[in-house]
Structure 1
Amino acid sequence: MDTHVIEARGLSKRYGATTAVDRLDFRVEPGRVTGFLGPNGAGKSTTMRMILGLDLPTSGSVLVNGRDYQGIVWPLHEIGALLDARAVHPGRTAYRHLHSLAAANGIPRPRVDAVLEQVGLTSVAHRRVGGFSLGMSQRLGIAGALLGDPGILLFDEPVNGLDPDGILWIRTLMRSLAAEGRTVLVSSHLMSEMALTADHLLVIGEGRLLADTSLDELIARGAGDRVEVRAVERARLAAELREVGAEVTLEPDGTLQVTGVGSAAIGELAAARGHVLHQLRDVTSSLEEAYFRLTEGSVVYRAPVPA
């Protein structure tokens, strides 16, 4: 039996005439943080709910450690999940909320104190959850996910409401959990954070799988590197670069953004034709650029661009 593995096979979910998830095939492996990316309405939350057995697939299957998650007797020992930080009775204290989860899953009471300490909520453990900020609620949800010391962790937008210190903390936590050999699947819309956190990426759009690849491979495949050039005669240089097949964009600050020709070739052309260069710099494209190129045809909710 696979340990700490989530596997989807032809996973689909339809609501009437709407297809939310469309024949997904993927494996989420232990020992790495897997980022789960996609535009709003892409099917990320629906997929996570099907992993946890909260929604049933219309067709296909998703297995946790080789079996259906619904049949697991002590679920929090297998998967810890944070899907909705506000899904807690507001009249309960943080301690009582976690204690009820622990009691239902055969988890010793000292573990409640341990996870409260781990997420930094010990000082507010006996405050009612209804008075918590979103960031505090996120920390409580993460404590609940960690409660059973599971081998698999699912986090849906875990940095929402966290301050910079909290974002750094959750990033470090996720990477340390993966380093222990656990499986970590995290959805986020923050590309800059995923670039610092994820090792592997699953990207979906309109319910379909667009990419199942490492972070580095997606950036290299989807973005394309460019060169920034500053020259005294920028208009002439731009025309000469286009003559040799480059794509050149003149930025408002006078910088030329060049793709299709490498920096070495640009330098040689400039030297041969008497150009004075003030800058010649390779620019590696970002995860955000690669993501937008990959998903540009899959955005469901798009606002008009201001004039």
Structure 2
Amino acid sequence: MIEARELTKRYGHKAAVSGLDFRVEPGRVTGFLGPNGAGKSTTMRMILGLDLPSSGSVTVNGRRYQGMVWPLYEIGALLDARAVHPGRSAYNHLHSLAAANGIPRSRVDVVLEQVGLTAVARKRVGGFSLGMSQRLGIAGALLGDPGILLFDEPVNGLDPDGILWIRTLMRSLAAEGRTVLVSSHLMSEMALTADHLLVIGEGRLLADMSLDELIARDATDRVEVRAVDHHRLAGELRTLGGEVTLEPDGTLLVVGVDSATIGELAAAQGHVLHQLRDVTSSLEEAYFRLTEDSVVYRAPVPA
């Protein structure tokens, strides 16, 4: 388990992380979300002792990570897939990590097979693609067979097969009772992978709840309608008290009138419908609602 209490990191007068309180529990995948500059990487670095908190604390299984004698047995992490000497082979890189942490050499072959790199184990890492480097970084995280795993943007550079693989891997690790914390900017992938979410913005905790709770919070039920005479139907739906938005392609987005009522109205008024479906809120929509005031780097929308 990972636990943060009033975790704060300042650089001069700027607080990169401010008073974070959270627990990452075993047995589930916890997604770590937030805009660029929100403090995710800084938080992960403090968990691993690479940065020291200005105040507050973060512990791994009740202890500071820095004091662990064999750290890779406790926690495995992928923060930067390219942080490997390019002249080393994948095998030698993992062997050096194993030797430094008292891990049997046999584990190197096991994790290379687990991440699908056995065929290129003796090739120099400098020639690896980003996706291959990601797989090697994940192998390093798994090397000590730890109970806690941290992954920072692990799907970067992976092809669709690789994305499915890492998703399945993370969920299987959590199912074994391990603690899994993963950051990502891909909302669609987090919706398929995470059980619980931590969302931060400008260094502060915005949400600490299950995936379903976050999506359901402030969710708005909508109905999507396509009709031959969409202008007339829009007026009739507004008369019923619906909020109707006309999209450029003629689709009506309706709030306040359910799909059954719309279907009955269409039948009674002779409307020809090409589409009538309920639209459920997505993680992406919930995330944008939550973080809209916390985006630091926002580019202007093209005209």
Q: Establish whether residue 125 from structure 1 lines up as the match of residue 117 from structure 2.
A: no
Structure 1 length as normaliser, TM-score? 0.94
Q: Establish whether residue 193 from structure 1 lines up as the match of residue 189 from structure 2.
A: yes
> Counterpart of 1:61?
57
**Residues 249-283 of structure 1, C-alpha deviations (whole Å, 9 max, x = no match):** 11122211112332233334445655444432111
User: Are 1:228 and 1:283, in contact at CA under 8 Å, matched by a contact in 2?
Assistant: yes
Query: For 1:245, what is the secondary structure of its paired residue?
Result: coil
- Number of residue pairs matched? 303
> Counterpart of 1:28?
24
Query: For 2:223, what is the secondary structure of its paired residue?
Result: strand
> Counterpart of 1:76?
72
Q: Establish whether residue 41 from structure 1 lines up as the match of residue 22 from structure 2.
A: no
Of the candidates 146, 162, 165, which is equivalent to residue 166 of structure 1?
162
Structure 2 residue runs of 5 or longer lacking an equivalent are none
Equivalent-residue separation in structure 2 for 1:238 and 1:59 (angstroms): 56
Q: Establish whether residue 11 from structure 1 lines up as the match of residue 11 from structure 2.
A: no
Query: For 1:22, what is the secondary structure of its paired residue?
Result: strand
User: Are 1:222 and 1:291, in contact at CA under 8 Å, matched by a contact in 2?
Assistant: no
- My pick for the range that moved more, 226-235 or 206-215, is 226-235
Equivalent-residue separation in structure 1 for 2:29 and 2:109 (angstroms): 26
CA shift at 1:192, angstroms? 0.9
Q: Establish whether residue 50 from structure 1 lines up as the match of residue 11 from structure 2.
A: no
Aligned residues with identical type, % of pairs: 88
> Counterpart of 2:226?
230
Structure 1 residue runs of 5 or longer lacking an equivalent are none
Equivalent-residue separation in structure 1 for 2:218 and 2:299 (angstroms): 24
User: Are 1:223 and 1:293, in contact at CA under 8 Å, matched by a contact in 2?
Assistant: no
- My pick for the range that moved more, 79-88 or 90-99, is 90-99
Equivalent-residue separation in structure 2 for 1:11 and 1:242 (angstroms): 49
**Residues 134-180 of structure 1, C-alpha deviations (whole Å, 9 max, x = no match):** 11111110000000000000000001111111111111111110111
Matches within 5 A, 1:138-157: 138-157=134-153
Query: For 1:282, what is the secondary structure of its paired residue?
Result: strand
Equivalent-residue separation in structure 1 for 2:198 and 2:192 (angstroms): 16
Matches within 5 A, 1:142-291: 142-271=138-267, 275-291=271-287
> Counterpart of 2:289?
293
> Counterpart of 2:299?
303
TM-align CA RMSD = 1.5
CA shift at 1:285, angstroms? 1.8
> Counterpart of 2:95?
99
CA shift at 1:132, angstroms? 1.1
Equivalent-residue separation in structure 2 for 1:277 and 1:225 (angstroms): 20
The one-letter code sitting in structure 1 at the alignment partner of 2:112 is L
**Residues 184-209 of structure 1, C-alpha deviations (whole Å, 9 max, x = no match):** 10000111111111111111111111
CA shift at 1:29, angstroms? 0.7
Equivalent-residue separation in structure 2 for 1:194 and 1:188 (angstroms): 7
Structure 2 length as normaliser, TM-score? 0.96
CA shift at 1:246, angstroms? 2.3
Query: For 1:181, what is the secondary structure of its paired residue?
Result: coil
CA distance 1:126–1:278, change in 2 (3 Å): closer
Query: For 1:111, what is the secondary structure of its paired residue?
Result: helix
Query: For 2:217, what is the secondary structure of its paired residue?
Result: helix
> Counterpart of 1:90?
86
Query: For 2:155, what is the secondary structure of its paired residue?
Result: coil
**Residues 12-59 of structure 1, C-alpha deviations (whole Å, 9 max, x = no match):** 111011111111111111111111111100100000001111111111
Equivalent-residue separation in structure 2 for 1:194 and 1:126 (angstroms): 33
